[in-house]
Amino acid sequence: MKNFFDNSLIMKVILITAIIYLPGTTISESKYTQSLFTPVNTLSDSNKTKFPEHYFRFPLKPGVDLNVLTHIVSLDNVENGFVYAFANEEQWIQINKLRLEIEELAHPSSLYDHEMRSTHTIMDWDSYPTYAAYRNMMWQFASSYPDICRLDTIGYSVQNRLILVLKISDNVSENEDEPEFFYTSSMHGDETVGYILLLRLADYLLSQYGQNTTEGMRATRIINELEIWVNPLANPDGTYRLGGDTTVNNATRFNANNKDLNRNFPDRISDTNNVLTGREAETQAMMRFASKRNISMSANFHGGTRVVNYPWDNGAPSGQYSACPDDAWFIESSLSYSLTNPDLMSGSFINGITNGCEWYAVFGGRQDWIYRWHGGRETTIELWDVKNPPGSVLPQRWTNNKESLLAYMEQTLKGIRGIVTDAVTSQPVRAKIFIRNFSGSYVNTDSFTGDYHCLVLPGTYGVIFTAPGYVSDTVNNVTVEDSIAIRLNHVMNRIPTNITSAEAGMPEDLRLAQNYPNPFNPTTIISYQLSMINYVSLNVYDALGKEVEALVNEKQNPGTYQIEFDGSGLPGGVYFYRLTAGELTETKSMMLLK
């Protein structure tokens, strides 16, 4: 986990604000000893492994600031008046310097001696595969269904294990005008329920494709209309490194560098540089994968409780609601997973869903990064109270999640979709699409096909199309129903670079340079040249065409000028700057990152 504050300052803050607890306070048994079933095959004391991470809890009392603590350790749950967390050795030293009443607990992965399968056939789905068997299963999916399944790799882990992904689609080798959907699991390596569920989901979809049954026709429609990506195991080092690739016993939350991968992504508040440098190998691989895709919707599976967690994960004090621009949509899509799910509906969260920050604040999480930097809609789904349960409970987890998994994918087929092309060449345009009055929310077109998929609730909208070098357009009164997505193709016109004598009867005497740097945050330099005395105006406009700042408004002599533009008070997005000198006008676009 990246620490974004000075550690000594953090300790002073908590030492001042934390409650000094009275000795002798009684703390109830760990929630993991109160699970819904009694452990049968527990690891014996002689087989216990020393974990490179600590699992612990402390009481949540007035003065304990989780907004600060979340930057020191990896918070895991807030439940029944206690905070549960993980720490690597460095974090463990830091947290123990604070006046918190810490109780170290048995690591969740130390509770069971798992039955493992070394072959790729585990069709009873009541055990875990070895790492080699997992690789063989993924290969077998692709080789058995080559027309609709392709095996690919997202990258490599720290210890050079493959981070594998399946692409499932009707034309699997093509990039089609279809929304891309992504399921991924176990970036916390000790949370293994989703690992098996996604293997079983891949098997289900592939085996049902083309079958003339109700289930078969549904699976066929999903595969025909989506480009589906399935990554069952995002942190293979965490799952297998202590078991020597042969067992998920003693799986760890952190990766091989003892870092929490779900605290390692760029963050809109604490780590605004969307760069690979300094991040873990698994994080870099996932960032590259997402940048090459145009993922419309995704879910990231975890374990330890039962809930669908949606953005934002921060932006308000921990424990308070932090609504993102598409809050209403996220609530409805989260309910599409939870309402038919007996596990989630019998958990401790109302309707099986929660706003991330209202549960507890997280910085560097993946779902916020996907939403902020790629316009994708991702949730974090906690599947089961026990992180790494015995295989005997896995078949029931599939039964309880099967409908949820399918219904959630089908949400991607709603909203507004289309293709954006150039008015002259008819080639795809790499554009951003905004919905009026949803500030900060956008989707991208695919750079190869030009298709976009905007997920919105039923209603009537104004759709704004923007692209560098093109005139922004707004299409009003687009009506969306709660059914298949409405198609809205759009043609964009390039912005004239200047007005020449042929166009306006005037000599070409105006040059406007591209701002630098671009994209920028929060300042950039705009340069221009004049060849004659003229009355000059330089104005900045937002994507809706509203003027946000007048930078120049005066008569100027011939020469070169540089003007600094400061976007500190503006939301991130595409802006346009227009230079006018007499009757000559030139416009360019720029991108403000926040």
Strand-pair category, 180-185 with 227-231: parallel
Q: Are 360 and 68 in contact (CB under 8 A)?
A: no
Q: Are 460 and 391 in contact (CB under 8 A)?
A: no
CA-to-CA dists, residue 44 to 48, 117, 252, 277, angstroms: 7, 21, 18, 42
Residues 457-496: tens digit of each pLDDT: 999 999 999 988 888 899 999 999 998 999 999 999 988 7
Q: What is the pLDDT of residue 529?
A: 86
Greatest extent of the chain over all pairs of C-alpha atoms, in Å: 91
Residues 103-154: tens digit of each pLDDT: 999 999 999 999 898 875 656 799 999 999 999 999 999 999 999 999 999 9
Q: What is the pLDDT of residue 51?
A: 92
What lies within 8 Å, CB to CB, of 163 at 6+ separation is 153, 154, 155, 156, 157, 231, 233, 234, 236, 282, 285, 286
Annotated catalytic residue within 176, 227, 382, 586: 382
Q: Enumerate the H helices of 441-507 as residue ranges.
A: 501-504
> What is 416-492's CATH superfamily?
Carboxypeptidase-like, regulatory domain (2.60.40.1120)
Distance, CA of 346 to CA of 336 (rounded, Å)? 16
Q: Pick the closest to residue 405 from 135, 146, 203 (CA basis).
A: 203
Q: Is 586 labeled as catalytic in the residue annotation?
A: no
Residues 248-264: tens digit of each pLDDT: 999 999 999 999 999 99
Q: What is the pLDDT of residue 572?
A: 86
Radius of gyration of the chain (CA): 26
Q: What is the pLDDT of residue 122?
A: 58
Q: How far is CA 427 from the centre of its chain?
A: 29
**What does residue 40 show for φ and ψ, rounded to 5 degrees?**
-105, -55
Global pTM value: 0.78
Distance, CA of 243 to CA of 339 (rounded, Å)? 37
Q: Are 290 and 374 in contact (CB under 8 A)?
A: yes
Catalogue the E-assigned strands of 324-466. 353-355, 377-382, 416-422, 432-435, 442-444, 451-454, 459-466
Peptide bond into 312 cis (omega under 30): yes
Within 13 Å of residue 165, how many CA atoms lie on the same side as its CB? 24
Architecture of domain 116-413: 3-Layer(aba) Sandwich (3.40)
Mean confidence (pLDDT) of the chain: 88
The residue ranges of the chain whose pLDDT is under 50 are 1-40, 42, 44-47, 498-508
Q: Are 408 and 541 in contact (CB under 8 A)?
A: no
Q: What is the pLDDT of residue 31?
A: 33
Q: What is the pLDDT of residue 121?
A: 63
Distance, CA of 129 to CA of 384 (rounded, Å)? 19
Q: What is the pLDDT of residue 332?
A: 98
What lies within 8 Å, CB to CB, of 564 at 6+ separation is 523, 524, 525, 526
Domain spans in the chain, listed from the N-terminal domain onward: 7-110, 116-413, 416-492, 501-592
Q: What is the pLDDT of residue 509?
A: 62
The answer to whether 416-492 and 501-592 have equal CATH topology is: yes
If one looks up domain 501-592 in CATH, what number appears? 2.60.40.1930
Total number of residues shown for the chain: 594
Q: What is the DSSP code (8-state) at residue 31? A: G
Residue 509: helix, strand or coil by DSSP? Answer: coil
Distance, CA of 138 to CA of 548 (rounded, Å)? 52
Strand-pair category, 128-129 with 74-79: unpaired
Distance, CA of 47 to CA of 40 (rounded, Å)? 16
Tell me the CATH number of domain 7-110, given options 3.30.70, 3.30.310, 3.30.420, 3.40.50.
3.30.70
